Structure formats: structure tokens, C-alpha cells
Amino acid sequence: MDKKEFWQLIEAAKEISKGNQALQEQALINSLAQLSPEKIIEFECILREYLIEADHFNVMAAQKILNGYVTDDSYLYFRCWLVGQGEVVFTSALRNPDALATVVQEPYLDFEELLYVATQAYEKRTGTKEEDNEATFPRDIAHSRGLDYDYGSVTKGEDWTENQLPKMLPKLWKKFGAT
């Protein structure tokens, strides 16, 4: 699987789901389960690459404005949500997180479930459970390749303080941050 195929799967699932993340998750699992186990593993690896790429203080600032707080988990799930929005929204948000003001109509729904679609598809495709042989599962293989979005990633960019947010991301602040 290459990045083009990755984004095609994300876009197709998003289109089918019409904004319902449970449907998007299921569509991804179903699509991935039709692929070879190796392609499912590559999907997981590419997902992790994008989660690491999105680990930037500017993206975190956008999440802070949208959600009102940032924790390790909420920040990870926000990056999952960004990936789940498709390539155009994702790349645009990485270039300029303030562009999310035109995409988000109300505070986002996180997309934690995206973290598990490859494992579920792999189980469906191979008939094995993760606990049967963890070393062969997508998450473990990706982790063994150094693709760790929790501890292997260093947040890029410059940290910020809350009082900088209105000037950093004025459109998002005007829409969601001003109280």
C-alpha cells in the first residue's frame, strides 16, 4: 500500500459515512479486510506516519481552541480526526491550522477508533486474534519499525501560551475560542 491508496481508503470511507464516524470506522475495516495482511499492516504504518507528522504545536493549538483543553489522549484523537477528514483537510491543517475554521462547524468529534481499524481488519481477514500472536499484528509491527506516536514522536514547532492563541489562530479563535 502506498500513501495514495491510503488516502483513497480514507476518502471512500468518509464519503460512505456522511459524517458518521461509526460508519466511517466500519467502512474502513470492511475495505481493509478485503486486502492482504501485508497491506493492512502498511495502512497502520502510514497512519502512524501521519499521526507523527501532525504532532506540531500549531496543530495542538487548534485542538486547544476547539476543545478547550489538551491532554495526551485528546491530542492524539484530534490528530486521528484530522486524518479521518481526508488528505485535503489534513494537509491544509498542517500548513495552516487556522484553515480548520472553514471546515469545522462545531467542535470536532475525536476519532480514537481510527487507531484500531487495522487491527480489527487484520483479525477479520486472518481469523486470528491479537492475543494469539501479537508480534504479527499491525500495531506491533508498526511499533517495531519505530512508528510510535506516543513516545517516539517529538512535538515540532514552538510551544505557546493560552494568551497567544487569539493571534496565532485568529479565525479559529473568533469562531470557537472567544467566550
Burial of 11 (0-12, 13-18, 19+ CB in 10 A): middle
Enter the pTM of the model: 0.93
- On whether the CB atoms of residues 32 and 43 are closer than 8 A, the answer is yes
Torsion angle of alpha carbons 30, 14, 22, 60, nearest 10°?
120
In this predicted structure, the answer to whether residue 163 has a pLDDT above a threshold of 70 is yes
- What was the pLDDT predicted at 19? 85
In this predicted structure, the answer to whether residue 154 has a pLDDT above a threshold of 80 is yes
Helix pair angle (37-53, 117-126), 10° resolution: 180
SS3 state of residue 156: strand
Q: Encode pLDDT of 27-59 as tens digits.
A: 999 999 999 999 999 999 999 999 999 999 999
Locate the domains of the chain by residue range: 3-177
Q: Select from 86, 97, 87, 84 the least CA-distant residue to 156.
A: 97
Helix ranges restricted to H, the chain = 3-17, 21-33, 37-53, 57-67, 72-84, 87-95, 117-126, 138-144, 165-168, 170-172
46: cell is 502510514
Cα 121 to Cα 33: distance, rounded to the nearest angstrom:
5
pLDDT over 90, % of the chain: 79
- On whether the CB atoms of residues 139 and 119 are closer than 8 A, the answer is yes
SS3 state of residue 56: strand
- What was the pLDDT predicted at 105? 83
